[in-house]
């Protein structure tokens, strides 16, 4: 089993020291592997890992989660302790603080551990637990929320914000992934719902929520209360937080130091596998086969499942039948010479018999900006780009994608996208800058003009389009400003006849249908012109709401026009509307190319004279010949 192979490389090192010790020779990601093994063996202790920089802490945390899963230990035992520079990080700190216990492995910087914070019991006492069905006065709840440091905003977009709107309060607690909507019925909390921060729509019900303070106390260092029984791990330059006095300290060094213990771990260099040492992608298969024949075992760790499948296919071409195994299944998977999985690992390692090879080893490190989309999403986004497709570079404009090629950079040889511009000029974009390239999208059949390979020319072009978009936005703002002051028709409020029409709907309306209909009714009964977009999948009841709105309009002696995209849909709607309205003496007709010229003229005349209440049609309805009474 993989776990026993990895543990054997550390032999007598997996023990609690009676005095501070240093372990050297922890190359690549083996520091995280060692801590994962210690956590597996000593699951009754708290393990605290101190790194010197935030980026090192994040990489260590990623590797630790990988190795825990590989060893058959829950990755949730790994906790990340950020420095707490914003509300999001503060929420993660509190989450870490509340969930840490025996078996937890907490990773953070020296500053993160030194920063004063609450004692766990204090934090629990200060926190506000909101339960569905409990009673609390709205003003009291708002006052408590504000005392906890939450800021009132027009829209809740970030942790630490809230808004109250009559009998609804939206709040984004620090430890929640999204805002929570609190709906009141009197003083009773009627419903708790999770809210999508992008659309501000509720997405799922929850039964309770914990609201933590949006600030830290200055009373004590984080995790000081665990220091007596905790195992501390320090990287080369990190220091033990002040106030901690313990002999259970293990310093982790990359170099082998004289007089220190070291595991049987090496890097992958010298094997001809890494992107720096091989000349082609095909060489991965050749070198893997040669090393397997020498008795080595492999575990390839690719970033995505698609990458893993591609590597599996490459190895198959070299007569290596390789199973693709999910990471969580590897701890109990039978022995096999070569295994492929997918997960996040910064760099691989080499033991006496097992080679763990990561995507970064095979293809080079991928720098990712904090504000950029994740590489996985970018790769998925670009999967549909084929050689010969038009693409748009953020700085150089429209070109043609000519495929992938090798490019020599400051960090070594890497793959790059080759894009051809006007007059055959070529631009090479390293894959780690893939976020600068998008597929060109336009109406089918449109062939764009290639841009010259000139950043200044494309910048001028973008500026022209920016001004056009600005002008269009100004026109739209003016249009909607004029609409706001216009007075429309306020339709009659609901009557018995309206309810009879609604009751004839042969199905049970959904909660979303009823909600949408209440909003449409409110719009129609208001004197302001309605401007509403109703969206939904096929079969989710949009047509029924259109029928109800049409009935409400006809009830007030208004005519209704329904525009549809196709002739077939026009005929289908005509049949459905006619059947639904027949009991109420409402005339429904249609306009499409299925009618003769004489029939079209008759319908147009009936419309103008007011003998047609509802007309359904394609773009013909937009013709100036169509006149309503």
Vertex 119: Cα angle to 114 and 122 (nearest 5): 145
DSSP secondary structure, 110-162, as one string: HHHHHSEE--HHHHHHH-EEEETT-B--HHHHHHHHHHTTPEE-SS--STTEE
Measure the CA–CA gap between 102 and 273, rounded to whole angstroms: 40
What is residue 46's DSSP assignment? -
Determine contact, residues 354/338, Cβ cutoff 8 Å. no
Residue range 496-622 in CATH 1.10.3430.10:
no
Instruction: Evaluate whether 112 touches 49 at the Cβ level (below 8 Å).
Output: no
Q: For residue 378, what pLDDT is reported?
A: 47
3-state secondary structure 152-216: ECCCCCCCCEEEEECCEEEECCCCCCCCEEEEEECCEEEEEEEECCCCCCEEEEECEEEECCCCC
Number of H helices, E strands in the chain: 17, 28
- Exposure string (b/e) for 129-154, b if CB count within 10 Å is 16 or more? ebebeeebebeebbeebeebebeeee
Three-state secondary structure along 327-360?
A: HHHHHHCCCCCEEEEECCCCCCEECCCEEEEEHH
CATH number given to 282-363: 3.40.50.11140
Domain 2-120+218-252: which CATH number of 3.40.50.300, 1.10.260.30, 2.40.50.100, 1.10.3470.10: 3.40.50.300
Contacts of 207 (CB under 8 A, 6+ apart): 131, 132, 192
Q: What is the pLDDT of residue 238?
A: 86
**Pairing state between β 412-420 and 397-409:** antiparallel
**Cβ within 8 Å of residue 21, ≥6 positions away:** 249, 250, 251, 260, 261
Q: What integer pLDDT is reported at residue 411 of this predicted model?
A: 46
Neighbours of 285 (CB within 10 A): 19
Neighbours of 13 (CB within 10 A): 18
Q: Which residues of the chain fall below pLDDT 70?
A: 218-228, 243, 245, 366-384, 409-414, 431-433, 435, 444
CA 119 from chain centre, in angstroms, equals 32
Helix (H, G, I), strand (E, B), or coil: what is residue 467?
A: helix
Report the pLDDT value the prediction gives residue 369, as an integer from 0 to 100: 41
Q: Span 128-211: which CATH code?
A: 3.30.2060.10
Give the span between the Cα atoms of 195 and 563, in whole angstroms: 33
Q: Could you tell me the two tokens for 246?
A: 């313990």
**pLDDT for 218:** 66
375-453 fold: Thrombin, subunit H (2.40.10)
| Cα distance between residue 94 and residue 604, in whole Å | 69
Given this model, what pLDDT does residue 297 score? Answer: 93
- Measured N-to-C along each axis, helices 567-581 and 542-555 cross at an angle, to the nearest 10 degrees, of 60
């Amino acid at each position: 089993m993989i776990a026993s192979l990895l543990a054997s490389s550390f032999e007598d090192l997996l023990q609690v020291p009676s005095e501070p010790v240093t372990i050297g020779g922890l190359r690549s990601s083996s520091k995280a592997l060692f801590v994962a093994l210690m956590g597996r063996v000593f699951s009754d202790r708290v393990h605290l890992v101190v790194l010197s920089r935030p980026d090192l802490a994040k990489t260590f945390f990623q590797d630790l989660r990988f190795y825990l899963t590989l060893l058959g230990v829950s990755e949730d035992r790994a906790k990340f302790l950020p420095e707490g520079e914003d509300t999001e990080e503060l929420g993660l700190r509190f989450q870490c603080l509340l969930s840490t216990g025996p078996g937890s492995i907490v990773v953070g910087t020296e500053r993160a551990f030194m920063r004063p914070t609450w004692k766990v019991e204090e934090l629990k006492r200060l926190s506000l637990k909101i339960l569905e069905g409990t009673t609390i006065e709205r003003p009291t709840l708002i006052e408590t929320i504000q005392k906890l440091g939450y800021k009132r905003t027009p829209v809740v977009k970030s942790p630490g914000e809230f808004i109250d709107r009559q009998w609804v309060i939206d709040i984004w607690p620090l430890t929640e992934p999204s805002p929570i909507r609190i709906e009141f019925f009197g003083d009773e909390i009627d419903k708790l719902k999770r809210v999508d921060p992008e659309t501000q729509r509720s997405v799922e019900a929850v039964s309770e929520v914990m609201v933590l303070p949006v600030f830290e106390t200055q009373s004590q260092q984080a995790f000081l209360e665990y220091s007596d029984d905790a195992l501390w791990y320090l990287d080369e330059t990190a220091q033990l937080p002040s106030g901690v006095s313990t002999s259970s300290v293990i310093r982790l060094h990359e170099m082998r130091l004289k007089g220190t213990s070291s595991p049987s771990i090496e890097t992958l260099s010298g094997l001809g596998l890494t992107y720096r040492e091989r000349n082609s992608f095909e060489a991965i298969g050749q070198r893997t086969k040669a090393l397997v024949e020498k008795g080595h075992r492999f575990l390839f760790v690719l970033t995505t499942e698609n990458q893993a499948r591609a590597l599996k296919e490459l190895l198959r071409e070299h007569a290596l039948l390789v199973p693709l195994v999910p990471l969580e299944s590897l701890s109990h998977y039978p022995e096999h010479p070569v295994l492929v999985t997918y997960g996040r690992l910064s760099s691989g390692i080499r033991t006496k018999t097992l080679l763990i090879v990561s995507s970064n080893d095979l293809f080079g490190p991928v720098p990712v900006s904090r504000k950029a989309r994740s590489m996985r999403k970018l790769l998925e986004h670009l999967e549909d780009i084929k050689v010969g497709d038009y693409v748009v570079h953020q700085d150089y404009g429209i070109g043609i994608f000519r495929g992938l090629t090798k490019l020599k950079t400051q960090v070594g040889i890497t793959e790059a996208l080759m894009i051809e511009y006007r007059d055959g000029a070529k631009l090479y974009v390293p894959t780690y800058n893939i976020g600068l390239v998008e597929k060109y999208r336009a109406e089918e059949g449109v062939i764009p003009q290639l841009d010259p390979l000139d950043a200044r020319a494309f910048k001028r072009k973008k500026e022209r389009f920016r001004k056009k978009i600005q002008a269009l936005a100004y026109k739209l703002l003016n249009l909607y400003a004029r609409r706001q002051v216009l007075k429309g028709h306020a339709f009659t409020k609901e009557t018995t006849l309206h309810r009879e029409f609604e009751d004839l709907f042969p199905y049970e309306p959904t909660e979303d249908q009823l909600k949408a209909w209440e909003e449409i009714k409110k719009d129609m009964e208001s004197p302001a012109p309605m401007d509403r977009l109703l969206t939904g999948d096929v079969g989710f009841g949009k047509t029924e709401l259109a029928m109800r709105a049409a009935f409400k309009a006809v009830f007030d002696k208004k005519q209704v026009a329904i525009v549809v995209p196709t002739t077939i849909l026009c005929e289908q709607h005509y049949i459905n509307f006619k059947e639904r309205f027949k009991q109420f003496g409402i005339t429904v007709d249609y306009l499409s190319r299925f009618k003769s010229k004489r029939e079209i003229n008759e319908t147009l005349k009936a419309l103008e004279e007011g003998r047609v209440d509802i007309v359904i049609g394609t773009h013909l309805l937009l013709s100036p010949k169509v006149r309503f009474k």
